[in-house]
Structure formats: C-alpha cells, structure tokens
Amino acid sequence: MYLWLFQHLRPFTRNSKNSIANSIEFLHKLQGITISADEIMVSFDIFSLFTSAPLDVSRQCTEELPQSYPTDVPSTALLELLDLCLETNFSFDNKYYQQLNGAPMGLPISGFLAEVTVWRFEAIALPLVSPKCWLRYVDDTFVIVRKDQLENLHNVLDATLPGIKFTLEMKPTPNSLSSMPFYNDNWMEHYGQLSTAKKRIQKSS
C-alpha cells in the first residue's frame, strides 16, 4: 500500500521551482546567477526533517495537491489511504499514544510527505525575505542572500512552521562551498563567477 500510494502521489512534487533532483539540475539552475559584494552563499539544513515534520500539515498539503494537478485516482481515495499510512497508535504503561509528528523512516511515502511539507514552508517563508537564490535537495539548501538579511532569513525560517528548524552552514571566505552538502568546490573558483565555473564542470563530466 505504501509503495502504491507513493507512486500515485509522487508526480505532484515534480514541478517545484526550488527543488532539485541531482547535480546536473543544480548546475543548470545556476545559469546566469552572479554574486555581488554585499551577498553571501550559505546552506541551510532542515534539522531532523523526517522525524519532526508535522503530519497535520503534510496531510493538508496533500489534500490541496489534486486541485492543481489532475489524477486518475479519486483524491478522496488517496487521502483515505494516506490517513491509514499516517495513523500510528500504540500503548505503553497502560496509556495510549498517537504519533503527531514525523513519518516512518525508510518508506517512500515519507519522502513525499517531507517534500510537500517543505513546499508549504517555502510558500510561506521565502516571500517574506526573498533571497536571490534558494535551491533545495530534500532537506539541504543552497542560498544566495544579502549579508545584512542573513540573520533575518534564519529567524523567519525557524518561525514559519512548528517543529521545522534550520541549522546554518557557512564558510569564513565567500569562494568555497566545500563543507556544504551535495556541492563540489571545484565548480566555484572565483567570487561572483558561477556561470564560467559551471560550464567548465559540464565539459569535464
């Protein structure tokens, strides 16, 4: 059931303008982007996304998706199956508990739920600060933002959805991303010259 549901829900998440599938798409979306002296490249990592995503938000986001993307399966059927997947109850010490946050690790449907939750988050948070560039691979992001807006951006990110918090990764010098997730510092050799380095990488691959 998990796999069948994932296969029918996954197409809804393929058109995100901020999400990237691999390094090739990452390089393609960097085309034409430059960095000025008052801007900085950083990476925000969502802390424990799969175990902290609010399930009520995930379900609400999923409920809204069929309104934008047609499907051959009735949306009510998809939501009923999703409710079965999300319902986790257990007893301990004569008390009953219900899981409200986090999706099961290792299941394909968990990746979908995390993705739609971050979609909602991005729709709320990013217009408030408007970084020049925000690209995301699952829960790791590449961001270009003005230096004087960095702290405000971090505060906005942490305050948008309950349970969703971000850690900030940055280098003391602007011409290296070697410590950031899914980046190779070979593509960035000179401050502000993303396009030139990008083309060089494509030719060598």
In a 3-state reduction of DSSP, which class is residue 129?
helix
Q: Would you give the distance in Å from CA 26 to the centre of its chain?
A: 13
* pLDDT at site 134: 93
pLDDT tens digits along 92-116: 888 887 767 777 667 777 888 888 8
Contact call for residues 48 and 163 (beta carbons, < 8 A): no
* Residues of the chain scoring pLDDT < 50: 172-182, 184-193, 195-205
Q: Which residues pair with 133 in a beta bridge?
A: 144
* pLDDT at site 194: 55
In a 3-state reduction of DSSP, which class is residue 125?
helix
* pLDDT at site 158: 92
pLDDT tens digits along 159-181: 988 778 898 987 534 443 444 44
Contact call for residues 153 and 163 (beta carbons, < 8 A): no
* pLDDT at site 198: 42
Opening angle at CA 126, ends 8 and 120, nearest 5:
30
* pLDDT at site 140: 85
Angle between helices 108-129 and 150-160 in degrees, nearest 10: 130
CB atoms within 10 A of CB 16: 15
